[in-house]
Every structure is written in structure tokens, then in C-alpha cells.
Amino acid sequence: MSKLKIKGKELRAIGYPEGPVISVAMQVMEQHYKHHTKKEATEILKAVLEKPESFSTHEILSPIANKLIPPAESQVPPLEGLREAAIHFNVFGAEHIEEGAMHQMYQAAKLPISVAGALMPDAHSGYGLPIGGVLATANAVIPYGVGVDIGCRMCLSIFDIDPKELIQKETFFAREIGEATLFGSGAQFKEAADHEVMDNELFYQLPLLKNLHGRAWKQLGSSGSGNHFVEFGVIDIAEKDTVLGVEAGQYVGLLSHSGSRALGANIANHYTKIAISKRRLPQDAKNLAWLMMNEQEGIEYWQAMNLAGDYASACHHIIHQKIAKQLGRRPVKMVENHHNFAWKEMYEGQEVIVHRKGATPAGKDVLGIIPGSMTAPGFIVKGKGETASVNSASHGAGRKMSRTKAIQTVTDKQFKDALKKHGVKLLGGGLDESPFAYKDIEVVMQGQQSLVDVVGKFTPKIVKMDGAAHKMWRKGSNEVVGE
């Protein structure tokens, strides 16, 4: 029997109003009534539409009903209590993690919705959940547990090209990066790229997304600012791994790091405000406010988050396809992963929502990329499926200096000398992203040997970042420098 599939136009045809209720109804019906016939599902939807108050507490249909009921006057929610004792969470590479990140993780572990957690060796302070924090929750999602740059991810294309060409044809490779994408906060293309992600019905169903559609389209395939980059480098595969499936040898790699641009930032900020208004938490924990997965807003955020993740993926694929076309080669392998996202996963026999804010999925035999800095190597890794880390690993080297401190303490000479020493051509990028601002990636990798196996190494050679000198995040820009 085929699964139930409902279209927005069918809901409008039976009287459902334009707006968020359309996407909520589609999601609820297709998840919980997937084996019903179209006729049976339509009758249920008509009943809810006729008397939504009768279904306001229904175990399954309440999200639809409550979206149809006019909102009552706002009331101040009661203060949410934290657990007296935090749930246990494992810390990897604790000796290199700042106290601020430890405190933030400890606060997250006291949430009543928390089930399991872990802190990665590249961890440092963020908003809400620390960067490098992993948190599994019961039937709840924390917008700031995902992060502002939803779907921030890595994407690596491996090309069967002699790495010597990166030196012999350096100008060519540098030009191709520059022509394939745009850097800078607010950067938009004059002519938008074409991708099916922009046809997603959510752009027409959720008012927030509808207003962001035009800008998101013009930013499709761009890379942003902060720690985001596109770079060419040398890939070393010591021996063939059955999961990676690439023969031993040296290759040219194209590596990109960026997220969902203004689309993700607006989604994160919008739903965080809603979560904070619904869950009154102590001041130092308020950014950990959550939305229940059976609440209308929780359903909306989950759908919008996944759309932002698909959008971020599309941005990377557009960049890689443009460059592959100019190289006249198809990659022998592409490896990619999100590291600012939430997933539905099984943990000790129960379904949980796993937030990985600046953490790489590392389930058994799951491939990922963990970068270093613009002069330090990155690694292609294969997860070991370690329960102690909630199937996660670090997402990079992690910062050891804030952007402000890096600008104040690193000199231009030190920066240039480091680039020269490692043979790196830098196209843009400032002192705030210099290698001195980051932890030693080798030390970070040592701290997670139980979490991943290294199956390849990437050494950067031509690096493109935002060219704005020492640019900092600006309030009100609705974009993020890169959490």
C-alpha cells in the first residue's frame, strides 16, 4: 500500500487558510496517518478544520488544531526549573577546553529534556550550547543548540590530478575559486543560480521563509565571511579504505566550508525568540530554551532547519560543480557533512534529538572532514560509532583566541611568515582567522582517537576567504561569522 502524500493545494481546496497550518498539517498527516487513504485523511482534516477546539488536546492532531485556533492573549509562562544535578556527559581533550565552554555544557546537562551529552576536544564558548557541544534531548529541539549558521558544513571533492599542478598552474586554480563563489557578509549574485531547493513548498507556506526567498536565491552558491573558505590542497591517501573507496596516492582536493547564510541566521533568531518566550529559564541558561517536537513552533523549526540544511548543501554543490566543470574532471569521490544541525537518532533504545553544534557526525563507518586552519592539515575521517561521544567528533581545531584577541596580538609579519613557511597562497582572510587563533589540530586529533579513524589527509595550498580586512560580526546584519 502506497504511503499517504498530501499537497498544499489539496488542503487549500478543502478550506485550509494560507499559512503555517498547511505545512504543519502535511507533516502530521504524512507521519501519523501514512497508511490511511487520501479520502480518510481528508475527512479527518475536514473535522479538525470544522471544530479545531475539539482537537486542541488531541495526542496527534493538536498541532493542526491549535494552528487554526485564534491565539489567546499572551501569558507569561512559569519559570522552568533546571535539574539539581546535571546528567553525566563525557569530555574529550579536557585539558585544552576553556572553563566557559565547560560551564555552558554543564548548564545544558541540567535541562529537564537532556538525555545524554558530550564535549569535543575543539570546544569553546558559544551562544547556548558551546561550540563543540553535543546534546541529546527527549522530544525537544533547541535552536541555539543547533547554532545560528544552520547546516554549516564541510564538502570535499577529490580529483585525480597531479598535485604539482597546484604550483604550476597556481593562477588558474586561484582564479577558478574566485569565479565560482562570493565571499563577504551580505554578498549576493546578480544572477541567481538554479537549484531545486528553491522550489521547496516551505518557502511559500511559512511567512518567515516566504520573505527570505528572494535573498536566499541571490545568495545561493555564496560562501559568507568569518571562518568560511574554499580552498585547493593536496590529499594524501596512505592506503585504500573500503568505506572511502579511493586508491592510495596523492590527489588534488577542493574543500569548502560554509553554511546557510542569511536564511539560517533568520530562522535561528526567529525561533530562538519564540523558544525563550515559551520557556522561562534562568538568565545564564535562557539561550538553551527549547521547542517541543509536538508543538506547532517545534514542527515549523524542524522543517525550516532541514530546509536550511538542504540549502547549505546546495550552496556547496553549486560551487563544486562550477569548479569541476572548469577543471574538466569529475571528482573520484565527494565527502561531506553538516556540523551545525540536529538529527533524530536512536540512543540506548530510545529516539532522541541529537544536537551537534560544531561537532561532526561519527557513527559507525560514517565519513566526515575535520579541518585544521589555513596552514594546518585537515583530515578525512571514518566514525567508530562511539556511544560515549553520542556518535560525534570535533568539527575542526577549535579557536584558542577570540577574533578580537587575534587581531590585537598577531602581527602582519607573523601572519605572512606562517603562510610562507607552509607554502600557502591566501586570497583574502585577516588576522582574526590566522593559524595562531586556532588550537593545534594534531593535539585535537589525539584527543579523539577513540572516536574516529583517519583515512586521508588534506594539506591546504590555495585558500580563499572573505577579503574584508579584520571584519567583525555586525549587530543587526542577520548573518553569522561562523559558529
Q: Which three cell numbers stand for residue 299?
A: 514542527
DSSP state of 4: P
Express each pLDDT in 234-289 by its tens digit: 999 999 999 999 999 999 999 999 999 999 999 999 999 999 999 989 888 999 99
Higher pLDDT, 144 or 402: 144
Q: Where residue 77 falls among pLDDT bands split at 50, 70, 90?
A: low
Query: Do the bridges between strand 131-137 and strand 350-357 make them parallel or antiparallel, or are there none, so unpaired?
Result: antiparallel
| 3-state SS assignment for residue 80 | coil
Specify the pLDDT at position 361: 98
Q: How confident is the model at residue 186 (pLDDT cuts 50, 70, 90)?
A: confident
Closest CA to 122 of 368, 339, 338, 439: 439
Neighbours of 129 (CB within 10 A): 30
Residue type, 73: E
Residue 41 near residue 16 (C-beta atoms within 8 A): no
Confidence band of 110 (pLDDT split at 50, 70, 90): very high
- Rounded distance between C-alpha atoms, residue 464 and residue 107, angstroms: 37
C-alpha grid cell, residue 474: 555586525
pLDDT at position 1 is 58
At 204 the three-state DSSP class reads helix
Q: Which of 354, 353, 357, 418 is nearest to 150 (CA)?
A: 357
Residue type, 349: G
Maximum average pLDDT range among 24-38, 46-60, 76-90, 382-396: 382-396
Nearest to 251 by CA among 158, 323, 377, 173: 158
Best CA proximity match to 361, nearest among 285, 452, 280, 266: 452
In the chain, % helix, strand, coil (3-state, to 5) comes to 40, 25, 40
Q: Is the pLDDT of residue 142 over 90?
A: yes
Q: Quick one: which of 311, 310, 312, 331 has its CA closest to 320?
A: 331
pLDDT digits (tens, 9 = 90+) for 371-394: 999 999 999 999 999 999 999 999
Q: Quick one: three-class SS letters along 103-169?
A: HHHHHHCCCCCEEEEEEEEEEECCCCCCEEEEEEECCEECHHHHCCCCCCEEEEEEECCCCCHHHHC
Give the span between the Cα atoms of 8 and 253, in whole angstroms.
Answer: 42
> Taking a C-beta distance cutoff of 8 angstroms, is the pair 470, 481 a contact?
no
Sorted by where each starts, the structural domains of the chain and their CATH numbers stand as: 8-68 (no CATH), 153-464 (3.90.1860.10)
Q: Using CA atoms, how far apart are residues 76 and 149, in angstroms rounded to an integer?
A: 29
pLDDT digits over 23-47, tens only? Answer: 899 999 998 998 899 999 999 999 9
pLDDT digits (tens, 9 = 90+) for 256-266: 999 999 999 99
Sort strands 452-464 and 425-427 into parallel, antiparallel or unpaired.
Answer: parallel
